[in-house]
Structure 1
Amino acid sequence: MGKEGQANESLRECIDLLTPMMQQLPPDINPYLCAILEAQERHDWLGVADGIEYEVLKLISKLDV
């Protein structure tokens, strides 16, 4: 939609929010984070959004934070 800058800023904010939780995140989140970063490098914004929405949020929702 031509909002790459805004999407990157939102992703940065998401990463900033995740950083304090990194020690609590399960190790099985790593492949999902790598896939999201790879999707970002390919400019596959739908892949980035899907990875966050369907994989990362599912794992984070299980945390007791």
Structure 2
Amino acid sequence: MKNDVRAILIPKLISTAHKLRLGQEADGSRDFGACIDLLTGILPELQDTKAVMALFQTMLAAQERHDWLALADCLEYELPLLLQQPTTGQA
């Protein structure tokens, strides 16, 4: 994954999580969509795409249930950890 995309995506994930925790669901959902767009662009470069896709399903299910705290936890803690793993093609 390119460092510039990671430098943009991870802070955006955390910012989105904070909005959801503060009850700003509309802004958080809009930002979540932007995060998904960034993530899908780099998905082929990720080391563990299966784990990312499984987490993706968990996040979408949380959004459907309006479980904003569970979604925020995934966005702030779990997904950034997966994104910080070495990408394919890196040592």
Same fold, TM-score > 0.5, yes or no: yes
Q: Residue 43 of structure 1 aligns to a residue in which SS?
A: coil
Alpha-carbon deviation of 1:55? 1.2
CA offsets, 1:17-56, max 9 Å, x none? Answer: 1121110221222221111100000001111110122211
RMSD between aligned alpha carbons? Answer: 1.8
Which among 52, 55, 59 is matched to residue 82 of structure 2?
59
2:43 maps to 22
Shift of 1:2: 4.3
Counting aligned pairs with the same residue, the percent is 38
Tell which has more relative contact order, 1 or 2 (C-alpha 8 A, sep 6+): 2
Q: Which segments of 5 or more consecutive residues in structure 2 lack a partner in the other structure?
A: 1-21
Q: Provide the rounded CA distance (Å) in 1 between the counterparts of 2:86 and 2:67.
A: 28
Q: 1:16 is aligned with what amino acid?
A: D
1:24–1:63 contact (8 Å) kept in structure 2: no
**What does residue 25 of structure 2 align with?**
4
TM (norm. structure 2) is 0.63
Q: Between Structure 1 and Structure 2, how many residues are aligned?
A: 65
Q: Which amino acid aligns with 1:9?
A: R
Detail structure 1 runs of 4+ shifted over 6 Å in the superposition.
none
Letter aligned with residue 26 of structure 2: G
